[in-house]
Amino acid sequence: MTATLTRREALAAGFGTVLLPATLSAQPAQRPAEFRIGVTTFLSGPASVFGVPSRRACEMLIEQINAAGGLAGVPVRAIFVDEGPGTDHLVGEIRRLVQAEGVHAVFQSISSGSCLACTPLSRELNKVMLLWDCGTQRIFEENRYDYAFRTQGYATPEVLAPLLYLLRKKPDIRTLAVVNQDYAWGRDSWEIWKTAMDALKPGVRVVAEMFPRFGSTDFSTEITRLLALRPDVVYSTSWGGELVTFIRQATERRLHERTTFVLPVAEASLQILGRNMPEGHIIGARGDHWNNHPAPANPELFRSFVSAYRQRFNEYPIYPCHHMAQAVWALKAAVEKAVATKSGGWPSDAELAAAFRGLTFPTPTSTITLREDGQGLEDQIVGMSHIDPNFGFAVPREMMRYSAAQVSAPVGQKSVDWLKTLTPAMVQQAGTAL
Amino acid sequence: MRKLEFLLALALAGAMIAAAIAAPWLRFVLTIALAKGIAVMGILLLLRAGQVSFGHALYIAFGAYTVAFLAPRLNDAVLLLVVAAGGAALLGLVIGLFVTRYRQIFFGMLNLAMCMVFYSLLEKLYHITKGSDGIRVEIMPVAGQALDRIAYEWTIFGIALALAFALGALLRLYLVSPMGEALKGIKTRETRLEFMGVPARGVLLAAYVVSAGVGGIGGALIAMTSRHVTPLLSYWTASGELVFIAILGGAGGVLGPFLGAAAYELIRVYAAASFADAWQMILGTALLLVILFAPGGLWGMAARAIGGRSR
């Protein structure tokens, strides 16, 4: 009975704490005592392989920013929310973050489904939302948002760059098979690839389209089929544990010796694979932030970020860490820009959102511009896997950089329609060797 | 006792309205809680017959996707609620025709299988359902009235509350009717029912169709509230959640599901807010405490506290 009483009391206390701050809303823009960011990321489930490292990166960067004096003098605090329980929970949590916790900006989310469900809330709640990791092209192609911005690249360039790289390095491919996870990203990334491939190199035969169940742990059926079909290329946008399992099972049966893998999301799995990752296969990082980047724009900053992360967590940062960092840096640049525009005054939500549009902010490797529709232009670097003894796992070599403007659909055009207009000449024109 | 139950329901509704006025974000959470409470009433009906369905999320997802698909064409919340309820009941009839042949674990598992088949369909028919990205539901008129966002959210909250009362009262009547009493017969000794000339399968099927119908209503309300439907609504964890709520709330009375759903959503929200890493553990602990110390659930505790007999 005591246990039940305390729970009731706890609930009552919970009600109390919520009711108080909620009544304090709708004030004119004053310099806040602290700048609160609501961050949605996977803390449970299979995608926590991305969520947990990104959370660590976020906490580390916020500590660094606060140690250096905060955002335009205001200390920052992040409130993390688990994306794991699903959409209806997350939609409620975003409302709670804005209406009860009073966050000044929301960083959301890893899953495209979460982004599609939550981004319209930016319009209803009039709060700045930074889409820090999700890749779906549907967000800005099907809607226009005044308060939502994506501080990194998206599905179209992340798929198109590896395809251009493949066609440059192996112009004679004839057959291709796809092994993608059976959910929206797996299907979308295949549609983008297929449309672009048909435009850039018509006549490549697709010998198998396989969509194993999301969360599969056994790919023996797929591998057997691939061994029999002998495609020149196997394309897979799988990620996390599934990609690790697929590569391990495929290399055990020597699939990698007769076919080239193209793995646009491989970077996050390479440390786990270690030396099991075969060499000479095409790998992507959803951006340009490879740990062995030969010529980062700001080598000092790049090295300090990577080494600080390594020192604290004893592993190299993976791409979600860099994406989180980009969101933090974008926020810092936008707040400073907005404060400067108001000559020292604190910006309102609308003024802060206005500061993001057209913003160019520096990253350690390059700069990212948020274009007119809110989409960030992030360069893509693709390369061939190669085990580097300094790292102890595969990193790319023969790297090529594709500038974001080259491989992204222009503002106002749908990716699939734009990809149909590409011509084979693009293969030789796009990209520069690093 | 009956009067007290009604008063308690009024008090709960009053507390919900007060909370929804005081904290706008809670309005959303409580609308979802009411919708789940409505759906869990169906679980409660089957629990009376001693049958646990591990697949009732199927009907929630069906109701939700009905709204998502038909909203552009029908474009009226009231109409969509009716269609979702009817469609889910019809689906319940078809599936019920064979799952009601089974009892206990077989009944539960077959339901689970159906629910996962629907989940897979939603994922696989990518070009129709947009897969795991889901479908967005726009704000729709209610009974011909076009509403702005705030008014719409209040209206759906009001509709959920009114439906909770109306369906709660109807289900209460159903439970004390011969059809409802016969459900208890299935739990204790089914053969005796047959000897009395009551067809056990028919009784269970009727309850199953009703439970599917209220599941559809709950799902439609969830779709209208969260305004984005994904296949996750039909995943087995969503079904488990319904059974969880039923146990937390207690199977003794129709108020149980609402107590359970409100407690579940609030615990989850507060647990997720305070311990983003460990909210599952807190929910699990809450359920364990209820099972260990209050087998009648929250309703059992409430009934004991107000001096009535708890079932």
Q: Among B86-100, B107-121, B243-257, whose mean pLDDT is lowest?
A: B243-257
pLDDT digits (tens, 9 = 90+) for A283-332: 999 999 999 898 899 999 999 999 999 999 999 999 999 999 999 999 99
What does the alpha-carbon distance between residue A238 and residue A189 come to, in Å, rounded to a whole number?
10
3-class DSSP string for B115-148: HHHHHHHHHHCHHHHCHHHCEECCCCCECCECCC
ipTM score assigned to the predicted complex: 0.76
Mean pLDDT score across all residues of chain B: 87
Residues 211-240 of A with CB under 8 A from B: 214
Q: Specify the range with the lowest mean pLDDT, choosing from A24-28, A355-359, B63-67, B284-288.
A: A24-28
Report whether pLDDT(A129) > 90: yes
The two three-digit tokens of residue B301, written as one number:
């505790």
Q: Do B23 and A80 touch (CB under 8 A)?
A: no
B contact test, residue of A20, A55, A88 with most B CBs within 10 A: A88
Average pLDDT estimate for B223-245: 88
* Interface-testing mutation among B25, B117, B224, B292, with chain A (most A C-beta atoms within 10 A): B25
Residue of B nearest to A93 (CA): B269
Examine domains A32-153+299-370 and A156-285+379-433 and report if their fold is the same.
yes
Task: Report the CATH number of the B2-305 domain.
Answer: 1.10.3470
The pLDDT assigned to A20 comes to 41
| pLDDT at A26 (0 to 100) | 44
What residues of chain B lie within 8 A of the CB of A138, using their CB? 133
CB pairs under 8 A between A and B: 125
Tell me the pLDDT of chain A averaged across its residues: 88
DSSP chain B: -HHHHHHHHHHHHHHHHHHHHH-HHHHHHHHHHHHHHHHHHHHHHHHHTT---S-THHHHHHHHHHHHHHHHHH--HHHHHHHHHHHHHHHHHHHHHHHTT--HHHHHHHHHHHHHHHHHHHHH-HHHH-GGG-EE-----BTTB---HHHHHHHHHHHHHHHHHHHHHHHHHHHHSHHHHHHHHHHH-HHHHHHTT--HHHHHHHHHHHHHHHHHHHHHHHHHHH-EE-GGGGSHHHHHHHHHHHHHH-SSSTHHHHHHHHHHHHHHHHHHHH-TTTHHHHHHHHHHHHHHH-TTHHHHHHHHHTTS---
The rounded distance, in Å, linking the Cα atoms of B20 and B262 is 12
pLDDT in tens, A179-228: 998 888 888 899 999 999 999 999 999 999 999 888 888 999 999 999 99
- Are A37 and A127 within 8 A, CB to CB? no
Instruction: Decide if pLDDT at B307 tops 80.
Output: no
Architecture of the domain spanning A32-153+299-370: 3-Layer(aba) Sandwich (3.40)
Q: How far apart are CA B188 and CA B279, in angstroms?
A: 37
- What are the residue ranges spanned by the domains of chain B? 2-305
Q: Among residues 86-115 of chain A, which lie with CB inside 8 Å of chain B? A: 86-89, 91-93, 95-96, 98-101, 111-113
pLDDT at B13: 87
Residue contact B289–A124, C-beta within 8 A: no
What residues of B are in contact with residue A187 (Cβ under 8 Å)?
126, 131
What residue type is A269 in one-letter code? S
**pLDDT tier for residue A36 given thresholds of 50, 70 and 90:** very high
Nearest-angstrom CA–CA distance, B143 and B150: 16
Q: What is the mean pLDDT of residues A35-51?
A: 90
CATH of A156-285+379-433, one of 3.60.15.10, 3.40.50.300, 3.40.50.2300, 3.30.300.30: 3.40.50.2300
Residue of A nearest to B136 (CA): A117
CA distance A139 to A141: 6
B53/A422 Cα distance (integer angstroms): 53
For residue A16, pLDDT beyond 60: no
- Rounded to whole angstroms, the Cα distance separating A350 from A131 reads 17
Residue extents of the structural domains in chain A: 32-153+299-370, 156-285+379-433
* B131 contacts A184? CB cut-off 8 A: yes
* Distance from C-alpha of A404 to C-alpha of A158, rounded to nearest angstrom: 9
The helix-helix angle for B57-74 and B200-226 (nearest 10°) equals 50
Nearest to B228 among A7, A23, A91 (CB): A91
Q: Token pair for residue A70?
A: 């905060």
Task: In whole angstroms, give the CA distance from residue A260 to residue A164.
Answer: 14
